[in-house]
Structure 1
Amino acid sequence: MSYTYVVSVATGTQGRSGTDNYIFITLVGTEGCSPRIGLDKPLFDDFQRGSVDSYPVGVQENLGEIVLVKLEKKTYLAQDHWYCRYVSVRTPGEDNVEFPCYRWLVDDKEVVLRDGRAHLPQDDKTSLVKEHRQNELKMRQKAYRWMAWQPGFPMSIDAKRHQDLPRDIQFDSEKKMDFVLNYNKAIQNLFLNHFMNMFQSSWSDFDNFKKIFLRIKNATSEYVMEHWKEDFVFSHQFLNGCNPVLIQKITKLPDKFPVTNEMVAVSLERELTLEQEVKAGNIYMVDYEVLDGIKANDTDPRTPQYMTAPICLLYKNTQNEILPIAIQLGQTPGEDNPIFLPTDGEYDWLLAKIWVRSSDFQHHQTVTHLLRTHLISEMFAIAMFRQLPAVHPVWKLLIPHVRFTIAINTKAREQLICEHGLFDKANATGGGAHVQLVQKTMKTLTFRSLCFPDMIKARGMESKEALPTYFYRDDGYKVWEATKSFVSDVIRIYYSSDEKVQGDEEIQAFVKDVCDFGMKDFKHCEFPRSLESREELIEYLTIIMFTASAQHAAVNFGQYDWYSWIPNAPSTMRKPPPTQKGLANITLIMDSLPDRGRSSWHLGAVWALSQYQKNELYLGTYPDEYFLEKPVKASMEKFKKDLAEISSDIKTRNQGQRLPYYNMLPDKIPNSVAI
């Protein structure tokens, strides 16, 4: 007796995903295995981009339940890669069994696919599927290896170049994410070529910066250009700019910042002393202590560059606005480190604020952006590939949120943060300073600080009533809770108890790999080495997804808004910070700000980094069907609905705002760190 199975094979929709090579298939069932059969329809072009091709597979016996599908690609005339989306098998009993693939078949290689239902390792009973699971992880662990790019960094992927990466995690042909190419495109779009080689040439006044600014503007960047000198705009960025993660409510003034009531009394509005305002919860601070001792970029001996580690004191006035009331440009008080005040001369106060903004830029780019989103997300991604097979529900959950992350970081190490890379061109933290800064920050980074609610609470910033204009916090809470709810729904589908988590050897290996290898030598960071409950697993996965999506979006896509007006975010300073009052004038400020060449490098970089990519996949959008189970799909729909409601609320809130905040708008949050 013969049986006929109908196999449908879907080829990818991205560029160059089709193939002219031979494709063979083998069906593996619980009762038997089909012959190795070539898939070919005479006179037709099989396996072309976007196609779904169907083929009959005849066998002499019933194969039972189809549990595995083996695909093989063999060269015909010329070698080319093939991207398979999925294989669907219709059995003689008219059942359809889906086998998600979503990977490349490279050279004369094969891939073995498990059916699309998610399975925990302890739920697999037959030796056949257990062996497949183990073999998949063995192959992955050979392909995805840990490497220390720099001492004192989280571990990264063992690949020197993008082309050395496994093909499945390289960029698609449509996403040619090359920093140099993107940067050159920015230079052309912004008409910056004229200024590129004008290093050491200062601008004559602030209006001169408009020569490189006027080509591309938006509402926020134009508002910044017109109002950047105002104390309100200066302080607003600590709440809702690119680096809204440092401002903290203080309960006492630190000894290293000896601000007195007499210094700031004129700025206080409630007829309270400074000490009383502190006790009332109206005094905030931003401290760049981590920058102290970091050696500024010295790659160009013709132009010395400078950094400092300022402290800024902020006051919440009776209109609930945050305003600066004192700035100290170094960590050690003394006669040569004066405390600048709004009552000082116009240029003294302006230069002090410019120094704070430049320091904020350095911290943002290296710590908040590079380390705490890019490098941390890559570390989680590598461990995921090494320890979780594609059939695991957590792998299916996380895979959209690591899309292109390892690739973008590899490109960064090739072209951006490497020696002589783009970072060295314009940034004070170039020339190795960014490496020092990451190494120093890693000494105090903790796992709990990656948990959004904990990070907000640790800085005393959780009360909306106390500070109603902290939109980063408000929107972040909403996206965090929606993400956590989605993760919880999925996890509870597969884990019926805490014991299920404890008994999942793959999840435990994943978490252990992060702790023992990804965070090697950083035991003080207190990354968990195991998980004991569903709640712990839910929070752990929420941290991964939120960091890769919402947190990265919040600190990345506003860069052109806030950094395109150079005086508001100098990428470097060419004169040392003032050591006394009364010296600042327009000439000193212009000689301190980036020269024309570095300004152009800076502007091109922040434009390129702020661009959304073509075919971007936003939070809650999962076009690849890794999950087949209806309860999970229902959870996905609920997640999308929750995110849509958050987007609607944010857009309503933004109406009428002088500076609307969109950086946590769900429909503008990509799923992963991919730019």
Structure 2
Amino acid sequence: MFSGFAGMMNRDQKLKGTVVLMQKNVLDVNELTAVKTDPIGIIGGAFGAVAGAAGTFVDTATSIFGRNVALKLISATVADGRSGKGKVGKQTFLEGLLSSIPTLGDKQSAYDIHFEWDVSKDGIPGAFYIENFLQHEFFLVSLTLEDVPNHGSIHFVCNSWIYNDKKYKSDRIFFANKTYLPSDIPAPLAYYIEEELKTLRGDGKGERQEWERVYDYDVYNDLGDPDSKATLARPVLGGSSTLPYPRRGRTGRKAAKKDPKSESRSGFVYLPRDESFGHTKSSDFLAYILKSASQNVIPRLRSVVTGQFNQPEFNTFEDVRSLYDGGIKVPTNFLSDLAPIPLLKEILRTDGESALKFVQPKVVQVDHSAWMTDEEFAREMIAGVNPHIIKRLSEFPPKSKLDSKLFGDNTSTITKEQLEPNLGGVTVEQALQNNKLYILDHHDILFPYLRKINATETKAYATRTILFLQNDGTLKPLAIELSKPHPQDDSYGPVSEVYLPASEGVEARIWLLAKAYVVVNDSCYHQLVSHWLNTHAVVEPFIIATNRHLSVVHPIHKLLLPHYRDTMNINSLARNVLVNAEGIIESTFLWGGYSLEMSAVSYRDWVFPDQGLPNDLLKRGVAVEDPASPHGIRLLIEDYPYASDGLEIWAAIKSWVEEYVNFYYKSDAAITQDVELQAFWKELVEVGHGDLKNSTWWFKMQTRAELIEASTILIWIASALHAAVNFGQYPYGGYILNRPTKSRRFMPAKGSPEYDDLAKNYEKEYLRTITPKNDTLVDLTIIEVLSRHASDEQYLGQRVEGDLWTSDSAPVEAYKKFARKLAEIEEKLVQKNSDESLRNRYGPVKMPYTLLYPSSEEGLTFRGIPNSVSI
């Protein structure tokens, strides 16, 4: 009887919990990207391993994890009398595998656990230690404590890889989903929170290891590979005013032997372990697909095209369309080698035994030739994949900011006489005054590099395109200026030629070529600046600074966390196979070996506050301030799909952030007194974006308004801006005629054989000028991967933690309101796209602008705004 009573007391002093975890992901990204040979064969083995592991896991899970995973609770309210630190409970092991929990995700498993813990003496748990005695890691999803006396449930959202205990210098710790400003952190938890931040900051020494979680900064000195060959050397980006750059995550690899300033390259690229793709769906395979495509599939495609069939060029536009209709004839063993790669096989559709076909890009799904029209050429500047570069022309002729001592007079040679016949009866002065003239200017970024670029097999021009806003709301191109360096020296200024629209004869063919040179420049600027630099690269320092200085219980950490998902991972992958020396971008885009260097030149002019949409529109002159307008600004191009849709999304983000920030910060003084926030912002400015630290435009982070604006801008960059410049890549650029990435010949001079050939067979001459067949196959293969949504993508208004990301109900409800607002915006945008009076929304190609629809399904959808730069 006594023993039974004691047992009851013992049970009363136990807290019941549920631990959710996942087995080690067989497709470990760091292992995959280390593949050097036969990636397709290894992929097959990996897929088989996944299938095998899934089949046996449930049967063996309890025996594997039971006594090999231990937890200890830590009190948030009761301190150890000697140290003042929160009291630590007894070690407790996982118990039985729970067979059915409705909330379990894919490949997740749940376990019972019971802690010896008396709330009346030990207090309310606020953290826990976990130890893994297994040799392999697992992914810890969460711990939930149920029915805590006088408290209810306590949730610990973890989402972290746990390695063998011996791998760590300090015990792994997780905190409950309570949210605190630093001044409000319970004293018993303060020590543990600061120790965790110290762990994440590391000591800045040595080569980082796979299991580590250290966030530190480095310059971009790992793009080249000088130890392999001299032509693979690349300059260091970052750390200088000449080539400034945002910082990347430090890996600590040894210096290259032939260039001590460069980091040696290896297949393994460290990133903090929890930044790895930790999910089990298609995003896990991204590294594998890109690696196998670049090392195996693409070389075989090139071999098939140039070797076996000796057809290195497209000869007609129909040849290009055959990539989607008839396909490329390939050996049957090529298709069989693709079999183990389901996603890649889906991208390169295979029909029968000998044809490999690409998905038909959206831009030619309705009309094969509408891309050639002037209206579509202009429309894509405001509704295409690079819709935020066009500016209002405020002076004529357009001038340059280049140093005239080095580059001569770069003032445009376009004249009023060339423009006015197409201005509908108004003068250039009147058109300027009425905000009717616009420019797509790709002159200054390119001109200083033209001589170097044109010394290779590519041939290019710096370009300026003048456009006229017509009464029907569409833009009409008026003139294109093509400029190249003076034969004697850059200081003599450019040699320029102006081309005017033409619809008949050889002049129409010349005009089509002129537009191609413009689009080639736009494609390169888009990929290297709009996309890579201004979304991928600029966000990474925010991720590093956040993890080094904002604890997981800090409200701004919780606010920003969804917008960092997978970014460091995709960036490290890009440095390995996409933007590296002679990587996919350098190999297939005009800027070639100068690609990242030119993006560094562009970064000199990067201004963080101007990355917010309203400021961007005002700075480019395409909008004016107007308090009577819904968003405080009025678009001068009223039917501007990217801008009008974007303003709706921007306003929703800002409203959500404002409500959230004001919930936690009751005054501006609370901002200045937040030591974690101040340390985060100081390091972000002085180190993460340190090459621009002396810029006067940085927010001082002294007021709630500054925090709201900064957070809104960051969320906008990571979500909507990235969506706008990424997920249209294949829909627009998958048809290489519409978005060529290279130009290989200069414009033919009148009277030359090339000019005569253009008159006889303009398709062949056009194709000899733009991206060749080999590079087209590479471009299509890669941008189709990068234009797809993963099946487990998290979209704006969603969180992977559901409602458990904070225990505060008001922010949770505010976030739900934000999600509802986004759904309302999507309905509004759908209605806009059905309004045929808004011609810029669908254009001659009949391709409605859907890139800023918030939601999407998996795949190549041309819509959807993920929370983060996740691909």
TM-score normalized by the length of structure 2: 0.72
Partner of 1:36: 90
- In the TM superposition, what is the alpha-carbon distance from 1:250 to its structure 2 partner? 1.3
- In the TM superposition, what is the alpha-carbon distance from 1:402 to its structure 2 partner? 0.1
Partner of 2:457: 304
Deviations 1:429-461 (A, max 9, x none): 232x11221121122111222121101111111
Partner of 1:201: 312
Partners of 2:537 and 2:571 within 8 A in 1? yes
Change in Cα spacing, 1:461 to 1:580, as seen in structure 2 (3 Å) is farther
Partner of 1:417: 579
Partner of 2:70: 24
Deviations 1:325-364 (A, max 9, x none): 1000127898942110014811111111000010100100
Partner of 1:444: 605
Instruction: Measure, in 2, the Cα distance between the counterparts of 1:306 and 1:567.
Output: 17
Partner of 1:639: 818
Change in Cα spacing, 1:465 to 1:89, as seen in structure 2 (3 Å) is closer
Which residue type is aligned with residue 601 of structure 1? Answer: V
Change in Cα spacing, 1:580 to 1:447, as seen in structure 2 (3 Å) is farther
Partner of 1:617: 794
Partner of 1:671: 867
- In the TM superposition, what is the alpha-carbon distance from 1:179 to its structure 2 partner? 4.8
Instruction: Measure, in 2, the Cα distance between the counterparts of 1:483 and 1:335.
Output: 45
Pick from 375, 382, 389 the counterpart of residue 537 of structure 2: 375
Which residue type is aligned with residue 662 of structure 1? Answer: T
Pick from 692, 711, 714 the counterpart of residue 522 of structure 1: 692
Partner of 1:395: 557
Alignment gaps of 5+ in structure 1: none
Instruction: Measure, in 1, the Cα distance between the counterparts of 2:100 and 2:817.
Output: 38
The alignment partner of 2:705 has SS state of helix
Aligned-pair identity (%): 25
Instruction: Measure, in 2, the Cα distance between the counterparts of 1:374 and 1:117.
Output: 30
Partner of 2:512: 350
Partner of 1:85: 142
Partner of 1:274: 428
- In the TM superposition, what is the alpha-carbon distance from 1:65 to its structure 2 partner? 3.0
Partner of 1:576: 746
- In the TM superposition, what is the alpha-carbon distance from 1:200 to its structure 2 partner? 8.8
Instruction: Measure, in 2, the Cα distance between the counterparts of 1:122 and 1:491.
Output: 16
Partners of 1:511 and 1:528 within 8 A in 2? no
Pick from 153, 156, 165 the counterpart of residue 271 of structure 2: 165
Partners of 2:305 and 2:312 within 8 A in 1? no
Pick from 320, 328, 337 the counterpart of residue 473 of structure 2: 320
Q: How many residues align?
A: 668
Deviations 1:179-235 (A, max 9, x none): 56247569989x966437689933212222112243422543435742121100100
Partners of 1:374 and 1:405 within 8 A in 2? yes
The question of 1:74 aligning with 2:139 is answered no
Partners of 1:196 and 1:596 within 8 A in 2? no
Instruction: Measure, in 1, the Cα distance between the counterparts of 2:97 and 2:579.
Output: 51
Deviations 1:53-100 (A, max 9, x none): 333323478334324332322324x43323232332532446322222
Partner of 1:5: 14
Change in Cα spacing, 1:117 to 1:238, as seen in structure 2 (3 Å) is same
Instruction: Measure, in 1, the Cα distance between the counterparts of 2:19 and 2:451.
Output: 53
Partners of 2:138 and 2:163 within 8 A in 1? yes
Partners of 1:196 and 1:600 within 8 A in 2? no
The alignment partner of 1:380 has SS state of helix
The alignment partner of 2:372 has SS state of coil
- In the TM superposition, what is the alpha-carbon distance from 1:522 to its structure 2 partner? 1.7
Partner of 2:113: 55
The alignment partner of 2:462 has SS state of coil
Partners of 1:297 and 1:306 within 8 A in 2? no
Which residue type is aligned with residue 116 of structure 1? Answer: N
Partners of 1:116 and 1:391 within 8 A in 2? yes
Partner of 1:148: 219
Instruction: Measure, in 2, the Cα distance between the counterparts of 1:236 and 1:406.
Output: 33
The 10-residue stretch of structure 1 (579-588 or 465-474) with the greater mean CA deviation from structure 2: 579-588
Pick from 702, 707, 716 the counterpart of residue 532 of structure 1: 702
Change in Cα spacing, 1:43 to 1:84, as seen in structure 2 (3 Å) is closer
- In the TM superposition, what is the alpha-carbon distance from 1:498 to its structure 2 partner? 0.4
Pick from 849, 854, 864 the counterpart of residue 661 of structure 1: 849
- In the TM superposition, what is the alpha-carbon distance from 1:245 to its structure 2 partner? 1.3
Partners of 2:458 and 2:745 within 8 A in 1? yes
The 10-residue stretch of structure 1 (257-266 or 235-244) with the greater mean CA deviation from structure 2: 257-266
Partners of 2:465 and 2:479 within 8 A in 1? yes
Partners of 1:383 and 1:518 within 8 A in 2? yes
After TM superposition, the structure 1 = structure 2 runs for residues 157-556 of structure 1, keeping only pairs within 5 Å, are: 157-159=249-251, 164-172=270-278, 173-174=280-281, 175-179=283-287, 181-182=289-290, 194-195=304-305, 201-214=312-325, 215-223=358-366, 225-253=368-396, 254-255=398-399, 256-269=411-424, 271-288=425-442, 289-294=444-449, 304-330=457-483, 336-343=495-502, 345-431=507-593, 433-462=594-623, 466-523=636-693, 525-526=695-696, 528=698, 530-556=700-726
The question of 1:119 aligning with 2:180 is answered yes
Which residue type is aligned with residue 211 of structure 1? Answer: S
Instruction: Measure, in 2, the Cα distance between the counterparts of 1:14 and 1:487.
Output: 36
The alignment partner of 1:86 has SS state of strand
Deviations 1:625-668 (A, max 9, x none): 32121101110111001100110011111125433101111111
Partners of 2:622 and 2:635 within 8 A in 1? no
Instruction: Measure, in 2, the Cα distance between the counterparts of 1:522 and 1:259.
Output: 35
Task: Tell me: higher relative CO, structure 1 or 2? Use CA pairs within 8 A at least 6 residues apart.
Answer: 1
After TM superposition, the structure 1 = structure 2 runs for residues 567-606 of structure 1, keeping only pairs within 5 Å, are: 567-577=737-747, 584=755, 585=758, 586=762, 587-606=764-783
Alignment gaps of 5+ in structure 2: 1-8, 27-56, 80-86, 203-213, 221-235, 238-243, 254-266, 326-357, 400-410, 487-492, 625-633, 837-841, 856-863
The 10-residue stretch of structure 1 (112-121 or 15-24) with the greater mean CA deviation from structure 2: 15-24
Instruction: Measure, in 2, the Cα distance between the counterparts of 1:35 and 1:317.
Output: 73
Partners of 1:34 and 1:59 within 8 A in 2? no
Instruction: Measure, in 1, the Cα distance between the counterparts of 2:89 and 2:695.
Output: 53
RMSD: 3.0
Change in Cα spacing, 1:659 to 1:297, as seen in structure 2 (3 Å) is farther
Partner of 1:106: 163
Change in Cα spacing, 1:153 to 1:650, as seen in structure 2 (3 Å) is same
Partners of 1:478 and 1:646 within 8 A in 2? yes
Change in Cα spacing, 1:581 to 1:70, as seen in structure 2 (3 Å) is farther
Deviations 1:16-56 (A, max 9, x none): 49873422222222336454223243698999952333333
The 10-residue stretch of structure 1 (177-186 or 486-495) with the greater mean CA deviation from structure 2: 177-186
Which residue type is aligned with residue 380 of structure 2? Answer: Q
Partners of 2:481 and 2:497 within 8 A in 1? yes
Instruction: Measure, in 1, the Cα distance between the counterparts of 2:716 and 2:285.
Output: 23
Change in Cα spacing, 1:185 to 1:225, as seen in structure 2 (3 Å) is farther
The alignment partner of 2:532 has SS state of helix
Which residue type is aligned with residue 464 of structure 2? Answer: I
Partners of 2:249 and 2:568 within 8 A in 1? yes
- In the TM superposition, what is the alpha-carbon distance from 1:277 to its structure 2 partner? 1.3
Which residue type is aligned with residue 308 of structure 1? Answer: Y
Instruction: Measure, in 2, the Cα distance between the counterparts of 1:324 and 1:259.
Output: 13
Pick from 708, 729, 741 the counterpart of residue 559 of structure 1: 729
Instruction: Measure, in 1, the Cα distance between the counterparts of 2:119 and 2:640.
Output: 67
Pick from 193, 212, 234 the counterpart of residue 133 of structure 1: 193
